[in-house]
Amino acid sequence: MMSAAPISLLIAAVFALIYLARHAGAGESGAKTLVKTASVVALIPMAAAMGAPLAILAGLALGAAGDFALSRPGQRAFLIGMAAFAAGHLAYLLGFLDIGARPSAWTIPLIALGLSAEFWLLPRTGGLCWPVRSYIWIIVAMAAVAMGLPAGYLMVVVGSLAFVLSDLILALEMFVLRDAGRKQLAARALWVLYWGGQALIGWGAGSGFAGG
């Protein structure tokens, strides 16, 4: 079982690198959708081979669905993608509880981060205010639970925080930045953090679970 994990991770990483080199920040296309979605789909057998809980596998699958939707044009696709990612964060939250997460003092600074996003981000989101607000607090809850994981799950904690940071950069790219060069740089940075976060969560939840 373990031998399948590095192979799946390598396949996922190849797709992720292709996306970074050719599609991050580019317009919608069938190739972009395929590569972006495949880079996360390929993490699912990796996490399964490592022995990750079912909820973590569901979170990865929902992330892949969100990637598919967000790579398509239009506000409807954006909302579907946001809903898929929100459901994925809830699945991760349940998975983290399953592998031993407990209350943590880090909940307070994460709540402060959510409140700051309410202050600087929501006034810029227009008609998307309530979907964005709901998403903010779901990902804050996911990260807060991750921070309470046992010491053996450091990869999962780092991955969860990378995911949060990638979403902050995405918010900047979508609602704040106007310069094309900066938007391109943001797109590349958020992809590295996002995909890296997903890979760390999938691998870390399984390896920690197997070792615990």
Cα 24 to the center of its chain, rounded Å: 15
The answer on pLDDT for 137 being more than 80 is yes
Rounded mean pLDDT of 70-80?
90
| Residues 84 and 72: beta-carbon distance below 8 Å | no
Task: Output the pLDDT for position 208.
Answer: 67
| Residues 147 and 157: beta-carbon distance below 8 Å | yes
Task: Output the pLDDT for position 198.
Answer: 98
CA atoms within 13 A on the CB side of 181: 0
Query: What beta strand segments (E) does 60-200 contain?
Result: none
Average pLDDT value over all residues in the chain: 93
Integer distance in angstroms from the first to the last C-alpha of the chain?
A: 17
**pLDDT category of residue 69 using cuts at 50, 70 and 90:** very high
Task: Output the pLDDT for position 209.
Answer: 56
pTM, entire model: 0.93
Rounded mean pLDDT of 71-81?
91
Question: Would you state the structure tokens that stand for residue 64, as one six-digit string?
Answer: 């892949």
Task: Output the pLDDT for position 212.
Answer: 41
Task: Output the pLDDT for position 207.
Answer: 75
**pLDDT category of residue 3 using cuts at 50, 70 and 90:** confident
